[in-house]
Structure 1
Amino acid sequence: MEESSLISLNVGGLLYSTTRSTLSSHSPSLLSSYIQGDTSVSSTIHSLPDGTIFIDRDGTLFSIILNFLRTDRLILCDSFRDMVGLREEAAFYQLPALIHRIPSPSENGGGYITLGYRGTFAYGRDGQADVKFRKLQRILVHGKASLCREVFGDTLNESRDPGDHDFSDRYTTRLYLKHQCLEKACDAMAEKGFRLLSTCTSGANGLSSHQLMSSGLSPGGQNV
């Protein structure tokens, strides 16, 4: 690699090293414009006498920005919570692709949502559930009404509990989704930053009589 392709950056006092191609990987953006010689960004990005690029922004969050430019992936540790700050930094660097991938922080301060379903499973060979025979009548949604509305949007059916849309602290167990795709519901929650805490199932109708499963289940289908 040629030495001229290397770039040193000082972002909020933290030093980084990367390449011109990395900083130009998402174009147009603030960094790609600077690399291409756009003088309009000189008020926010400064070149020091030793050639280091100085940016007066959050140096810690820049590591996430730089990793995104390198890998085209948003990489966050499990303990990361500053979604608002990261979104602001992504906006500063003019990276709409990154902004789109940052989970939206709930305006309600977070919370929990429980998904349930009404349906049956038909078991195939070796006691394995074959999704081709799965039949879900309804996916139930339990939690704070405003949070459920934020996560599921137009796919949420509130006809059984319309309530007051301006009352954000109302909790309900009477909402359900307009579709019957459990994977789609889980994807919607994951995109909003939710993580799976636990699962519980009572199995399919007639599961307690299945020869491979009956020894571990009570007549009601619950684990014992």
Structure 2
Amino acid sequence: MALTENCRIYQPPKDSGSTQTSDVIELNVGGQVYYTRRATLTSMPNSLLAKMFSSKKETSGDMARDTRGRCFIDRDGFLFRYVLDYLRDKHVVLPDHFPERGRLKREAEYFQLPELVKILTPDDLKRPFHDEYPHSDLDDISQGSDQRSYPASHRRYGFITIASTRDACVSDGKGTRLPKLFVCGRVALAKEVFGDAIRESRDPERPPERYTSRFVLTFGHTERAFDLLAESGFRLVACSSALTSPLYAPHTEDRQWCKCTEYVFYRLGLGTTDVEKQNLELETALIGAKGFESDASSDQ
């Protein structure tokens, strides 16, 4: 009877020294064999591995085993090495241009390792979007309006293009796909309209009279952007929508798509009578809008 109980965990002990090696566990993860210590697997008490390899769980006989009696886990055997690295040192080092970050994040979610999931989450998703907190929208708008108050005589003509992208890969962790709003146009006009709502990390220290297509708004409501543009005297003159495949699609398990909608706004300059100059501005803005979608997709 005692021999049967020992067989459930390891081979029957043949000498007294076997109790000293019982802390070493042999795992078969998706066909890849790993040797590790029980203390490593249980280092995160709330993780799935800690629950699986607690003494009560393992001696219950419910754990799956392969033909050689090794504990079997039906997950990605290649990526499990990074899970073990995290359990050992509480941090993980990935190779350069690692294409399996999304799948590794899914493995971390399966093994119930929230800190590892947070490490693998892109920085853009760690920063909370203002549209997740509707009660703060009015406060943000009122602050932005004070900073955007310019005399009417100082308002110049120009175009601003807003691109709304909803990428299937971008999630808030709750299954909701979050839109991103990109701004294309003259830097001075964009800052006049949106103020501190512009995130300039993608195109910092851009001169006011230069053009940009890399500004990102800190909120995700297109209607809020429309309100700010309307308050500044802009009118919608054109829009377009396209369904494109992101550049990183070949590195993902499933083919994923990105929907991009562009809205072109224009504002007439007060006291401006040079029609040729405005036509030249129109041509320049349309050329920038044409290449905006590919540039925004590459930034994703």
The TM-score, its normalising length taken from structure 2, stands at 0.38
Answer 1 or 2: which has greater helix percent: 2
Larger Rg, first or second structure (1 or 2): 2
The TM-score, its normalising length taken from structure 1, stands at 0.49
